[in-house]
Amino acid sequence: MRNKTGRFSGYIRPFTYVLDLIIINVLAYLVLPENLFSLYFVFFISLSWVIIAINIGFYEVYRFTKVVSILNKIIKQFTLYTILCYAFLGFYVSNPYPEKVIEYTAISILLVSAFKIFIYYFLRRYRVLFGGNFRRVVVVGNGKSVDQLVEFFTENLDYGYLLVKTFHFEGDKRAKIEECFSFVTEHHIDEIYCSLNDLTNNQINGFIDFADNNLKILKFLPDNNEVFSRNLKLDYYGYIPIISPRNIPLDDSINKIIKRAFDIVFSIMIIVGVLSWLSVILAILIKLESKGPVFFKQKRNGLNYQLFGCYKFRSMNLNEVSDHVQVEQRDDPRITRIGKFIRKTSIDELPQFFNVLLGDMSVVGPRPIMRSHTEMYAQKIDKFMVRHLIKPGITGLAQTSGFRGSILNDKDIINRVRYDIFYIENWSILLDIKIIFMTLYNAIKGEEKAY
DSSP track, 323-392 = TT----STT-TTB-HHHHHHHHTTGGGTTHHHHHHHTS-EEESPPP-BHHHHHHHHHHSTTGGGGGGS--
- Spatial CB neighbours of 8, under 8 Å, sequence gap ≥ 6: 123, 133
Cα–Cα nearest to 367, from 321, 326, 322: 326
Q: Is residue 6 part of a domain?
A: no
Beta bridge partners of 233: 244
**pLDDT value of position 182:** 93
Q: From residue 18, give the alpha-carbon distance in Å to each of 14, 288, 361.
A: 6, 49, 24
- Spatial CB neighbours of 399, under 8 Å, sequence gap ≥ 6: 367, 439
Q: How many domains does the chain have?
A: 3
Please indicate, yes or no, whether residues 359 and 441 belong to a single structural domain of this protein.
Answer: yes
Q: Is residue 3 part of a domain?
A: no
Q: β-strands 240-244, 233-237: how paired?
A: antiparallel
Left (φ > 0), alpha (ψ -120 to 50) or beta: where does 171 sit?
Answer: left
Q: Is residue 2 part of a domain?
A: no
Q: Is residue 450 part of a domain?
A: no
**pLDDT value of position 277:** 93
Q: Is residue 93 part of a domain?
A: yes
CB 306 within 8 A of CB 389: no
CB 438 within 8 A of CB 400: yes
CB 328 within 8 A of CB 300: no
Q: How many CB atoms lie within 10 A of CB 361?
A: 27
Dihedral pair phi/psi, residue 263, rounded to 5° = -60, -45
Cα–Cα nearest to 433, from 263, 285, 238, 294: 263
Q: Is residue 47 part of a domain?
A: yes
Of the residues 84, 107, 130, the one at which a domain ends: 130
Please indicate, yes or no, whether residues 300 and 426 belong to a single structural domain of this protein.
Answer: yes
Please indicate, yes or no, whether residues 337 and 396 belong to a single structural domain of this protein.
Answer: yes
* Element containing residue 140 per DSSP (H, E): strand 135-140
Q: Is residue 369 part of a domain?
A: yes
Please indicate, yes or no, whether residues 371 and 434 belong to a single structural domain of this protein.
Answer: yes
Of the residues 110, 130, 150, the one at which a domain ends: 130
Please indicate, yes or no, whether residues 50 and 83 belong to a single structural domain of this protein.
Answer: yes
The one-letter amino acid at 363:
V
Please indicate, yes or no, whether residues 126 and 148 belong to a single structural domain of this protein.
Answer: no
3-class secondary structure, 236: strand
Domain of 55 in residue numbering reads as 12-130
Indicate whether this model's pTM tops 0.75: no
Distance CA 139, CA 150 (A): 7
The one-letter amino acid at 425:
E
Of the residues 219, 247, 275, the one at which a domain ends: 247
**pLDDT value of position 258:** 87
**pLDDT value of position 2:** 42
Tens digit of each residue's pLDDT, the chain (451 residues): 444 444 444 567 778 888 889 998 999 889 888 777 788 888 988 898 888 888 887 887 776 677 777 888 888 888 888 888 888 777 776 666 778 888 888 898 899 889 888 887 777 777 666 666 678 899 998 887 888 888 888 887 777 788 999 998 887 888 899 999 999 999 989 999 998 887 888 888 899 889 988 889 898 887 644 444 445 666 777 667 777 777 788 887 778 888 999 999 999 999 999 999 999 999 999 988 888 889 988 889 999 888 999 999 988 887 766 655 565 555 667 788 888 888 888 888 999 999 999 999 999 999 998 887 888 888 888 888 889 999 999 999 998 888 776 666 777 888 888 899 989 988 988 899 999 999 988 877 766 655 4
CATH number of the domain where residue 240 is located:
3.40.50.2300
Distance CA 444, CA 238 (A): 55
Cα–Cα nearest to 344, from 311, 309, 298, 313: 313
The one-letter amino acid at 377:
Y
Dihedral pair phi/psi, residue 247, rounded to 5° = -100, 115
Please indicate, yes or no, whether residues 259 and 352 belong to a single structural domain of this protein.
Answer: yes
**pLDDT value of position 4:** 42
Please indicate, yes or no, whether residues 145 and 234 belong to a single structural domain of this protein.
Answer: yes
Please indicate, yes or no, whether residues 306 and 228 belong to a single structural domain of this protein.
Answer: no
Please indicate, yes or no, whether residues 151 and 285 belong to a single structural domain of this protein.
Answer: no
CB 216 within 8 A of CB 2: yes
Cα–Cα nearest to 399, from 433, 439, 429: 439
Q: Is 256 exposed, middle or buried (0-12, 13-18, 19+ CB in 10 A)?
A: middle
Please indicate, yes or no, whether residues 205 and 94 belong to a single structural domain of this protein.
Answer: no
Q: Is residue 73 part of a domain?
A: yes
Please indicate, yes or no, whether residues 441 and 306 belong to a single structural domain of this protein.
Answer: yes
